[in-house]
Amino acid sequence: MRRATFGYGRRPVLSGVDLQVHRAEAVAVRGANGAGKSTLVRGLLGQTDVLAGEVCLFGRPRQEFRDWYRVGYVPQRDTVVGSVPVTVRELVSSGRLGRLRPWQRFSEADRCAVDCALEGVGLAGFDRRPVAELSGGQQRRALVARALAGDPELLVLDEPTAGVDEANQRVLAATLAGLAATGTTIVIVVHELGALASVVTRTVSLTAQEHHPC
């Protein structure tokens, strides 16, 4: 990002952002509530308008980028969790769809990717459980598994530890550390690092007054 300004319609929400993330980095974006952390993520992923400046993904301008299967996203809130009667496996399997053509069915490789994602977050024995029956921390881990099922090169997590107990935070931290070790690039939006401090290689901060990473 170079001098990027994000907003809705013509209304700017976050201005003057300069941020580069390199391959295999684990970058934490920190800031108080209202500093624009989630707006930054949505701007990166094309969910808000770029009103000024430049935003690139894998070296391509965001408006030209089409390979979204290379990006895994764990949102801060997800209406799928608890609102639709799906099993953990069904939820995680949906993260694999970006890798498939419309006419393709799940292959053995796809099923293996889902199994690996479930195992990676410690939910291998929960695949037949309804998502609504999981604890809040387990639901967050299921959402991470959904993102991992697509084998992303870039993983973006928006407040992944919000409402998650310490034990589940440690499981998540171990999962992310393993991904970082294999070369996955990670961007974590977080208010407090907590258990994720050991994973992060660099921290940038947003302030509510200026909205500039430093």
**Over 120-143, what HEC string results?**
HCCCHHHCCCEHHHCCHHHHHHHH
Residue boundaries of the structural domains of the chain = 2-206
Q: DSSP character for 146?
A: H
Any residues with CB less than 8 A from the CB of 209 and at least 6 apart, and which?
Answer: none
What distance in Å separates the CA atoms of residue 47 and residue 30, rounded to the nearest whole number? 20
Residues of the chain with pLDDT under 70: 77-84, 207-214
Contact 5/14 with Cβ under 8 angstroms?
Answer: yes
Segment 84-138, tens digit of pLDDT:
689 999 999 999 988 887 777 888 999 999 999 999 888 999 999 999 888 888 8
CATH of 2-206, one of 3.40.50.1220, 3.40.50.300, 3.40.640.10, 3.10.310.30: 3.40.50.300
pTM value is: 0.87
pLDDT at 213: 47
Q: Which of 118, 124, 127 is nearest to 148 (CA)?
A: 118
pLDDT at 58: 93
